Structure 1
Amino acid sequence: MFETRDFKGYFQSREVVRIGNKTIRHNWRFYICGFDGDSATILCHNKATELVPIDANNRIFVAGKWFSSRFWDH
């Protein structure tokens, strides 16, 4: 199952897996629609897109904070 949320205007989702009586919740992830040099196009919660910086360490800058690739999908 997947959950979604509005994180400061940006779309996020995460997978939630039930194994027996145990629930595993994966990291919340932003959705990257594409890349262009040192920026990435990210999906907003209202289904619009926005260009955000991406650095050499594959971190995106969203809402004043850097997020590693563990926190985004494409």
Structure 2
Amino acid sequence: MKKEIERKIQQVSAELRQEKDALDALALECIKQGRSLAEDENVLRQNEKVDTLVLTELRLREMLEERESEQ
């Protein structure tokens, strides 16, 4: 079970890096065009994806810590 959680953390971390890069690119483009980040639907959607992945990674790390403390 511990190995599965560690593998999932690696997968989520990799996806999170990609989604953060995509968010940065969207934000940069928005800034270049003089648009508000808070009003850009693409930025908001991408930010939601990043938030979800951050929370998923946090929960997985907490699960891993619980497993390790049980041993």
What is the TM-score of this pair, normalised by structure 2? 0.25
Q: Which has the larger radius of gyration?
A: 2
Higher strand share: 1
Higher relative contact order, chain-length normalized (CA < 8 Å, sep 6+): 2
Structure showing the higher helix proportion among its residues: 2
Compute the TM-score of the two structures, normalised by the length of structure 1. Answer: 0.25
